[in-house]
Structure 1
Amino acid sequence: MKIGAPTETAEGEARVALTPESAERLQKLGYECLVESGAGAAASITDAAYEAAGVKVLGSASELWSEADVIVKVREPSLAEVDAAPEGKTLISFIWPAANEDLLAKLQAKQMSVLAMDMVPRISRAQKMDALSSMANIAGYRAVVEAGNNFGRFFMGQMTAAGKVPPAKVLVVGAGVAGLAAIGTSV
């Protein structure tokens, strides 16, 4: 079975669904891994790094969608990607089905099997597949880092010979995965 990762088409998306490390683990389980040339560029992963890991680098998205049995993506595919995709593929990606009825209809028309990673329940048995919580954890951490960058003075309190700088006061709204990560980072 061939697993392929195309270049993400969403604007500003720097993540990639398949890294050389994850590809090596999949290959040990007997899968063949494919990536579109440049798929990892925004994440600072070169085609050479994929090739060194035994991943086949393909020249175009259409070539990848044709050759792979399973397509892995971070963000949901665009309607244009689905239109260009061959029928009967398996797609593993964030899909947001409640907000993407048109996308679901196109995927169904193309007879695609879809695993919506955003719909994996947050239970112990599914914890290894809970990509949504992992991304929320990173978002909470990054929110505090970005806020600290824009704050304009020391985030942590400072005591110097010239005086005392009080620490920043941080308000985190929400106590979900992202909120708890933000609280932990800001303390």
Structure 2
Amino acid sequence: NKARMSAAGIVGFALEAAPRTTRAQSMDVLSSQANIAGYKAVLVAAHHYQRFMPMLMTAAGTVKAARVLILGAGVAGLQAIATAKRLGAVIEASDVRPAVKEQIESLGGKFLDVPFVTDEEREIAQGVGGYARPMPPDWMRRQAELVHERAKAADIVITTALIPGRQAPVLLKEETVKAMKPGSVVVDLAAAQGGNCPLTVADEVVERHGVTLIGHTNLAGMVAADASALYARNVLDFLKLIIDKEGKLAIDMKDDIVAACLMTKSREPELTS
């Protein structure tokens, strides 16, 4: 598509390429849509889970709260924590970046801590531009062992881990799914990028080893009205950067947001430098 647009002389922008900076927050389409996906992931999981989410004390007996494990505490993961908490679940969450520990705990979740044993691990864990980076194999092994143990105790697992430009990391292995309780539910938000679980099937709901795996690739589209409204605001705020007071196109390549988002240039000389 980029080649065809370029050949046609079209000015093309990709808002998902906007830098993760304070000034660009209002046009961050990835965050606005991931926020919705994290919310809907919990509701979809609750729909497929055959028990209550909150603890209930009734005349017919006491129902234990659902245990929810969330892997990846970016925008989607944090919203999933907040939504699951509102529904009364007990929540554990894991992330490569130690900086999100306070955010997880402030939302009512418990942070699953995988200690760093080398300076390399600490440096990589800081991430770049708000994204996680691939961790060294030894740290991934230690995280996998902890995730395996906590997934066995969980009723619902929501995975949200993505690395830009790369296939999604495998966080929930087949042997872990086999060890989970029958009737458990997995929502894999990385299904479109290969999945955080190899058993996930994109755009399908399947059952494997007694566990329901949900691979919807457009959860934001299930909350269409608000998804569209938030996306429209993202686009509007971006247009303000490339249109002058007279309403004419004025693409300023000195603007870091505009420069990052520009994918193809026009043959017309309207770009300013």
TM-score by length of 2: 0.37
Higher RCO (C-alpha 8 Å, min separation 6): 2
